[in-house]
Amino acid sequence: MNKPTGHIDRTDAALLVFLSLLWGLGFVFAGVALKELPPVTVVFGRVGFGALFLLPLVLLWRVDLPRSMAGWAPFFVMGVLNNVVPFALVAAGQAMTTTGLMSIINATTPLFTALVAAAFGEEKLTTHRLVGVLMGLAGVVILRGAGFDLASAQTVGILLCLGAALSYGFSGLWGRRMLKGASPLTSSFCQVASSSAVLLVLAIIIDRPWTLAMAGPATWVSLVGLGLFATSIAYPVFYRILARSGATNVMLVTLLMPVSTIVLAHFVLGDSRAARGGRRAGDRRRIACDRWADLRMAGTADPGDRRIVIIAAYQIPSSQQPVRAASPPVRVHASTTTRSATSGPR
């Protein structure tokens, strides 16, 4: 294995974008699977299917696998640091928050990787590298916007994801030092095979899968997608970039993943903030139309009311709450029945 150059060429940059799409899709698949299955079982399904998809390639290309426990030990540790711990933490955190938020918090991985590599003398923490990482983090914070909510469950989810980012940082250091000379396919298969063994035991102890309800077709498709795209295809790409460009550079993929995750979630799940915003705006306009119709039926409508209603309907306050035009109660009939024109849709 050649010594990493510390720089990313065009080929590795393109692979980095491709890897962000694969792992961004993994967040989407995990979000679907977590609706029916607990986190540890989802993670076991991911690495288990990943190992199954890699096994034919290992047999076809006659990959030389370790023949002793000492030979498997480095891959076992890599599997724990790069699969078992971070996958379980992210899955648990994702169950408490949202897919988009987890992908954004996961973008702290390059910072932890750079700090770990610098602490162990693996890579220099240059000013340009630190500034670049901090600028990337600032970008994902801006992408998240002002909707950051520190509710208790969400706080725990964020802390879990930060723990996963730290584990990824140590996995990058371990892979650089202990997996030298191993091909990307060998590293990928041995890592996910070791992870599968560990997660099988954990799933039996923690989740007791035999007590769970049978998962639906969408969940099974998501698990297969996690194993195929986010694991068996993604990890050979990951190890290739790691060998050529270094641990800190390969972890920059997490800065691209929030964009990939949000875009893929929109097209695959139809879940986007813009769509929800459009629905909220539509609700405000519908309420405004009801308001104007009520005024006209009461015979008290005038152009001023119409302008106020239309302006209020298109305002988007910072609280994101629907705007209701304020006006005095309107008496619809000459009876004693009085209703407020500010009431919501009936």
State the pLDDT at residue 191: 96
| 62 falls within a domain | yes
The domain boundary, picked from 271, 301, 335, lies at 271
Round to whole Å and give the CA distance between 340 and 161: 47
Task: Return the pLDDT at 341.
Answer: 39
Does residue 324 share a domain with residue 285? yes
In the chain, what is the greatest distance between 2 CA atoms, to the nearest angstrom?
93
Q: What is the pLDDT of residue 231?
A: 96
Q: What is the pLDDT along the chain (346 residues), one digit of tens a residue?
A: 455 556 788 999 999 999 999 999 998 999 899 999 999 999 999 999 999 999 999 999 999 999 999 999 999 999 999 999 999 999 998 888 777 778 878 888 888 888 888 888 887 778 877 786 677 667 656 655 555 556 567 778 888 988 999 999 999 899 988 998 899 999 999 999 999 999 999 999 999 999 999 999 999 999 999 999 999 999 999 999 988 888 878 888 888 888 888 787 777 666 544 334 434 434 444 444 444 444 444 454 444 444 433 333 333 333 344 444 444 444 444 434 443 334 444 4
Q: Looking at the domain assignment, is residue 4 inside a domain?
A: no
- 3-class DSSP state for residue 63? coil
Q: Whole domain around residue 289: which residue ranges?
A: 272-346
Structural domain tally of the chain?
Answer: 2
Asked if residue 92 is part of any domain, the answer here is yes
DSSP H or E run through 39: helix 39-60
Nearest CA-CA partner of 68 in 234, 235, 190: 190
Report pLDDT for 108: 82
Q: Are residues 276 and 266 in the same domain?
A: no
Query: How many angstroms from the chain centroid is the CA of residue 140?
Result: 12
Are residues 36 and 17 part of one domain?
A: yes
Query: Is residue 1 domain-resident?
Result: no
Query: Does some domain include residue 166?
Result: yes
Out of 271, 293, 316, a domain closes at 271
Integer Cα distance of 5 and 274 in angstroms: 41
291 and 267, same structural domain? no
Tell me, yes or no, whether 73 lies in a domain: yes
198 and 215 both lie in a single domain = yes
Whether residue 80 is found in the same domain as residue 206: yes
Residue 137 resides in a domain: yes
Amino acid identity of residue 320, one-letter, is: Q
Report the pLDDT value the prediction gives residue 103, as an integer from 0 to 100: 82
Q: Which residues contact 24 (CB under 8 A, 6 or more apart)?
A: 103, 256, 257, 259, 260, 261, 263, 264
Question: What 3-state class would DSSP assign to 341?
Answer: coil
Q: Are residues 194 and 206 both part of a single domain?
A: yes
Angle at 259 between CA 148 and CA 160, to 5 degrees: 50
Structure tokens at 260: 């990939």
Give per-residue burial for 221-242: e unless 16+ CB within 10 Å, then b: ebbbbbbbbbbbbbbbbbbbbb
Residues 193 and 336 in one domain: no
User: Pick from 302, 304, 312, 315: which is nearest to 342 by CA?
Assistant: 312
Cβ partners under 8 Å of residue 175, min gap 6:
78, 82, 187, 239, 242, 247
Strand-pair partners of 330: 339
What is the spatial distance between Cα 204 and Cα 196, in angstroms, rounded to a whole number?
12
- Check whether residue 219 and residue 301 sit in a common domain: no
- Identify whether residues 169 and 284 lie together within a single domain: no
239 plus 279 within the same structural domain: no
Distance CA 199, CA 34 (A): 16
DSSP string, 70-132: HHHHHHHHHHIIIIIHHHHHHHHHHHHS-HHHHHHHGGGHHHHHHHHHHHTTSS---HHHHHH
Tell me which of 271, 290, 310 is where a domain ends.
Answer: 271
- Looking at residue 334, its pLDDT comes to 40
Residue 214 and residue 65 share a domain? yes
Spatial distance between the Cα atoms of 82 and 167, rounded to a whole number of angstroms: 7
